[in-house]
Copies of this chain bind each other. A is one copy, B any other.
Amino acid sequence: MSLLVTGTIGIDTVETPFGKAAEVLGGSAVYFSFAASLLSPVRLVGVVGEDFPRSFREMFQQRDIDTAGLELRAGSKTFRWHGKYIGDMNAAETLRTDLNVVSERPPLIPEAFRDSKFVFLANTHPALQRGFIDQLKGPRLVVCDTMNLWISQFREELIETLGRVDGVIFNDGEARLLTGEDNLILAGQRVLNWGPKFVIIKKGEHGAVLVSDPQRLDKGSAGSGSGHPSADADDGLFVMPAYPTTRVVDPTGAGDSFAGGVMGHLASAGQTDLEAIKSAMVRGACLASITIESFSLDSIRTARKADLEKRLAQFRRISSHT
**Chain B nearest Cβ from A270, distance in angstroms:** 16
A238 at the interface (CB under 8 A from B): yes
Q: How many residues of A contact B (CB 8 A)?
A: 41
For chain A, residues 257 to 287, give those with C-beta under 8 angstroms from any C-beta of chain B.
Answer: 275, 278-279, 281-282
- The reply to whether A319 and B246 form a contact with Cβ atoms under 8 Å apart is no
Task: Give the CA-CA distance A241 to B201 in the complex, in Å.
Answer: 14
Given that A246-B185, A248-B183 are known contacts, is A240 also in contact with B321, CB under 8 Å in the complex? yes
**Chain B nearest Cβ from A67, distance in angstroms:** 33
Could you say which of B88, B235, B239, B322 contacts A275, with CB atoms under 8 Å apart?
B322
User: How many copies of this chain?
Assistant: 2
- The reply to whether A206 and B209 form a contact with Cβ atoms under 8 Å apart is no
A134 at the interface (CB under 8 A from B): no
A207 at the interface (CB under 8 A from B): yes
- The reply to whether B244 and A241 form a contact with Cβ atoms under 8 Å apart is no
Given that A183-B246, A206-B203, A246-B183 are known contacts, is A319 also in contact with B279, CB under 8 Å in the complex? no
A239 to B, closest residue via Cβ: B241
> With a CB–CB cut-off of 8 A, which chain B residues contact A128?
none
Residue among A239, A275, A282 facing the most chain B CB atoms (10 A cut-off): A239
What are 27 A-B contacts defined by CB distance under 8 Å? A88-B182, A183-B246, A185-B244, A186-B246, A203-B206, A206-B206, A206-B207, A207-B241, A209-B244, A225-B322, A226-B321, A232-B317, A235-B318, A237-B318, A238-B319, A238-B321, A239-B242, A239-B244, A239-B318, A239-B319, A240-B241, A241-B241, A278-B322, A279-B321, A282-B322, A316-B321, A319-B319
